[in-house]
Chain A
Amino acid sequence: MLLNSVSKITDHYLLRNLRSSLRLYLSDRLTVAFLLGFLFVLFLALFGPYIAPYQPDKIFFVEGGGVLELQPPSLAHPLGTTSRGQDVFSRLLYGARPTLFTGLLGGALVVTIGVLIGVTAGYFGGRVDDILMRVTDFAFGIPLIPTAIVLAAYFGVGTWTTILIIGCLLWRNNARVFRSQVLQIREREHVRAAQMLGASDRYIITRHILPNLGGMIVLFFSLGTGLTIIISASLAFIGFADLGIPSWGLMLRNAYNSGYIASAWWWSLTSGFAISLTVLCIFMLGRGYERVHETNVSEFGG
């Protein structure tokens, strides 16, 4: 009885799909490497503060009383210290959480808006489509970084404002691609059949349209996440961020402003490469998933 119900669950078609696509997904060695990289960053984001040897804001002093500034890597400070005498390694570990979570939330917001607009426009067509696509055209006329700067300056800075601003600016590309996908899916025979049988729009969208967009949604979620990390780091770099949260973008800003980019490489370069490699892993995971689903998008970015 119990065994029967367990096998019923493990045989559920969604789980079967998940298992088979996961097997296909992991058949590529490079994708596995990127997955491990991403899991590592996720691990840092979740547990970094517990592993970190010191508090990110703790200032170290030399015995004479001065600040222990710009120390090269040593056993006590694996990645050296900043110009303010803070431990770079601890700041790096603490920085994973705000950086990654801003990215993931921003990516989720971007995809949600993109799917809502794209699916509505593509499925209902006609006047709704016209209006939504004109709005999208309009959104393409908005310059990304300048608008983000102005909005951040006028509405104040903070993690949530940053996520909202980026979400409201990046959806435009997704909306167009999702719309064109829905236009194709809508014409397929099983959708036509469901319509003929009198299925409601809601049923068709949730059962037939959205599952077919799956690979695309994952791809755009990963692209959105990566782009959000880059843009929020850019905003942090010019000072539009909560200066109390030690994100990687803010670390880069501090290092750049201190003027010791070259001499204190353990400080300036680690945070930059951390951003770069994290985004690389996320982009490549999306690409890998897309390959499994055999959908094709030749362009990414906003």
Chain B
Amino acid sequence: MSRLYYYARRMVVSILLIFAIATFLFFSFRLMPGDYATLLLQQGASAEQVEAVREAWGLDEPLYIQYFTWMGNMMTGNAGMSRQFSKPVVDVVAPALRNSMILALPGVLAAFVIGSLYGALLGSNPGSTLEKYGIIPPNIVGTTPDFFIGILLIAIFSMSLNLFPSGSIASIEVVTNNPGWEIYLTESFWYHYTLPFLTVVIKYMYYPTLVMRGSVVEVRNQEFAVYQRLLGLGKWTRFRHIMKHASLPVITVLPAVTATSISGLVLIEIVFNWPGIGQLLLTSVFARDTPVIQFMFLLIAIWIVVGNFLVDIFYTIIDPRITIEGE
């Protein structure tokens, strides 16, 4: 089985998986109790009005026709209209996704860099007081709900010390004056960005710390490392060589963590009132805005599936020992 064949097969499987998830999304939202028409009815609309809405949206057509229409629309990038904002779904989801990404991606990356360095520090001093007690904070952080980390930071840095604002993406006038991406260039944005960013870094830091510590302890005892120690090489030279080997397990999980992080920040976004997809999801759920929810889930699923696909390819490149036949 050649490598190229393997890539092609993985790609076909990934595309099929996305189709399967899209199909699943379509039917599961149709089967869920309490659709938008029922909500209208509860809000006091008459039966005729609801019927008119159902007809206008094509909800009275057979399910399979609705399904093919929906699939066709999705593939041409038409995700329909948001019911709560009366705007195209794409225009509603895009800015929210952008806001989530600018929080998640740099946050996770920083967490992995800082966490690995801290973990390496712990691992290179086995048996020391630092190693024994230094491992406790990351463990506690790993078992703390992320929204509580956010609450702690707000209580300390916002409410007690008055250093940073407690929520929202920027001050009100900045938000109204900058509808597009220019908002990321304003000073007010970075001022509001600090605390949520710190929360993300703390939330994702414990994992690389723990993995790196174990990995460094293991690599330190390998023959090449012992040999270099006996040669009398400098501390930093040895550290660099050890890091090269020890960072492999951390690097291999980074893409997967990045893939899930976008959707994993819901609670942090809510605590900091950050207008990302977590916030949007919550308002859409309360408004039963199915087109928006479906589209967001589809995007998240595509993001994860494509991420996994790239990870698999990445593995075969950085570690050629991975046997392709085993797949």
Contact = CB atoms under 8 A, between A and B. Distances in A.
A and B form one complex: yes
Contacts of B24: 138
B244 to A, nearest CB: 20
A146 B267 contact: no
B314 interface: no
B20 to A, nearest CB: 6
A137 B297 CA distance: 16
Interface string B187-228: 000000000000000000000000100100000000000000
Contacts of A252: 147-148, 151
B285 A275 contact: no
B160 interface: yes
Contact of A154 (B33, B155, B211, B308): B33
B17 A154 contact: no
A147 B28 CA distance: 12
Given A252-B148, A280-B143, A146 B154 contact: no
Interface residues of B, number: 48
B267 A154 contact: no
Query: Which secondary structure characterizes the binding site on chain A?
Result: helix
Interface string A262-294: 110100110010011101100110000000000
B211 A298 contact: yes
A34 to B, nearest CB: 10
Nearest to B146: A234
Interface residues of A, number: 40
A261 interface: yes
Contact of A144 (B151, B152, B249, B263): B263
A91 to B, nearest CB: 17
Contact of B151 (A272, A283, A298, A299): A272
Contacts, number: 116
A284 B182 CA distance: 46
Nearest to A284: B139
Contacts of B296: 146
A146 B267 CA distance: 10
Most chain B CB atoms below 10 A, which of A141, A265, A269? A141
Contacts of A185: none
Interface string A137-152: 1101111111101100
Given A143-B304, A269-B155, A137 B144 contact: no
Contacts of A269: 152, 155
Given A142-B301, A262-B155, A262-B160, A256 B271 contact: yes
A250 interface: no
A249 B253 CA distance: 30
A13 interface: no
Contact of A138 (B21, B139, B143): B21
A147 B297 CA distance: 8
Contact of B145 (A268, A275, A298): A275
Interface in B24-55: 24, 32-34
A268 B139 contact: no
Contact of B154 (A141, A261, A275, A283): A261
A233 interface: yes
A49 interface: no
Contacts of B285: 149-150, 153
A123 interface: no
B193 to A, nearest CB: 20
Interface in B264-313: 264, 266-267, 270-271, 278, 281-282, 285-286, 293, 296-297, 300-301, 304-305, 308
B159 interface: yes
B124 interface: no
A154 B263 CA distance: 19
Complex A-B, nearest 8 residue pairs according to Cβ-Cβ distance, in ascending order: A262-B159, A143-B263, A279-B143, A272-B148, A276-B144, A262-B155, A280-B143, A154-B32
